[in-house]
Structure 1
C-alpha cells in the first residue's frame, strides 16, 4: 500500500510537469498581461529557485526513498515552470527578479533565506528529512499565496492557468509532506 501511495504521488506530481503552460505564439495571448502577471512571474522565479536548491539537497541527504522521490518530482515540475515564467518575462520585456523580497511592498510572500538553506545542507539523515519537510511545507505554502494573488487579479491566460495548477499541486504536496512527517520512521 505504501509503495502504491508513493507511485501515485510521483505520478500526480509528474503529471503537473507533463502539461506545462506554454507561451502563445508571438502576437497572441502573450501580449495580454498586467502588473500582477509580471509580479507573479518574477516572485515565482525567485521562489522556484529557492525550492530547487532545497529539493536538490534531498538527492543525497534524505534517507527515505519516498522523500527522495517527492523531491525529484518537485525538481522536474518546478524546473519546467521556472523556464516557462522566464520565457514569459522575456516576451513581456520584463526582468526576471532574482531577489525574493523585490515585491515585499506589494504583499510579497517571504522566501526561504540562504542561511536556512545552508543550515539545511549541513544536516543529514532523519534530522535532514524533518527539517527539509518543515521548510518545504512553509515554502510551498508561500507559493500557494503567490498563486492566489495571480488568480485574484492577473489577466494572462497562461499565467492564470499556471497559478491554478500551482495552487492545486502545492496543496497536494503539503498534504503528502504532512503525512511523511506523521509517519513512523
Structure 2
C-alpha cells in the first residue's frame, strides 16, 4: 500500500513497473489471507481472527458456535464445580475404596473440562456465568444438589457417606448426561460437541459403577 501513496514521486519506468508487480502480489496475498479469515469467521460473534497459541478451550473452530453451545458451557461449569466439591469430600469421609476411586476420576476429568469451557466462553466473548446464575441456588437444575443436600453430605462419614454420595452423584451425573445430549443435538461448536460426547460416555459408565456399589451397601 505504501508504494501507491508515494506515486507522485518521479521514478524510472522500470522501477515503477517492478514495484507495481511486487505491490500487486502483496495485495493479492493479503486479500487471500483476509478472505480466508472472513470465511472462517462468517456468521459468528467477535473477531474472525484466532490466536494460534495453545490456550484452554481454543482451537481452529473456536469461533464456530451458537446459543446452545453457550448455554451448555455456562450451565455445565457450575454443574462440574459442584461435582468436584462432592468428590473432594470423599478423601476424608468415604469408607469404600471404590467410592474414592470414582471421586478421583471425577476430579481428574471435570477440573480440566471446567478450564476448557471457560476458555470457550472467553473466546466467544460470553460471560462464564449466565446472568441469572451468580449466587443463586441451582438445586433442581439438571441433577444439582441443594445447599441443604451438600450440608448433609458434609456431615456424614463411612458407609452413610458412601451411600448418600452414590445416590447424589448418580442423580448429578444423570443431569449432566441430559445436558450433554442436548448439546450433541443442538450445538454447533465441534469442541463443545466432542466434550459433550465424552461426558455422556464417561459419566454413563460411572453411573453404572455407582449403582453397582450402591446395590452392595
Against the structure 1 CA distance between its residues 59 and 75, is the aligned structure 2 distance closer, same or farther, given a 3 Å change threshold?
Answer: same
Q: Establish whether residue 62 from structure 1 lines up as the match of residue 94 from structure 2.
A: yes
Higher relative contact order (CA 8 A, sep 6+): 1
* Contact 2:73 2:117 survives alignment (8 Å): yes
- For residue 157 of structure 1, the aligned residue among 166, 170, 190 is 190
1:110 and 1:93 map into 2 onto residues whose CA distance is 28
How far 1:109 moved relative to its partner?
Answer: 2.3
Q: What is the SS of the residue equivalent to 1:29?
A: coil
How far 1:100 moved relative to its partner?
Answer: 8.6
Q: Establish whether residue 179 from structure 1 lines up as the match of residue 204 from structure 2.
A: no
Q: Establish whether residue 51 from structure 1 lines up as the match of residue 83 from structure 2.
A: yes
Q: Which runs of at least 4 in structure 1 moved beyond 6 Å after TM superposition?
A: none
Task: Name the structure 1 match of 2:62.
Answer: 30
**Is there any run of 5+ residues in structure 2 with no aligned partner, and where?**
1-55
Q: Establish whether residue 116 from structure 1 lines up as the match of residue 149 from structure 2.
A: yes
Q: Establish whether residue 88 from structure 1 lines up as the match of residue 125 from structure 2.
A: no
Against the structure 1 CA distance between its residues 100 and 139, is the aligned structure 2 distance closer, same or farther, given a 3 Å change threshold?
Answer: farther
**Is there any run of 5+ residues in structure 1 with no aligned partner, and where?**
1-21
More helix as a share of residues: 1
Q: Establish whether residue 73 from structure 1 lines up as the match of residue 101 from structure 2.
A: no
Against the structure 1 CA distance between its residues 73 and 100, is the aligned structure 2 distance closer, same or farther, given a 3 Å change threshold?
Answer: farther
Superposition TM-score, scaled by structure 2 size: 0.68
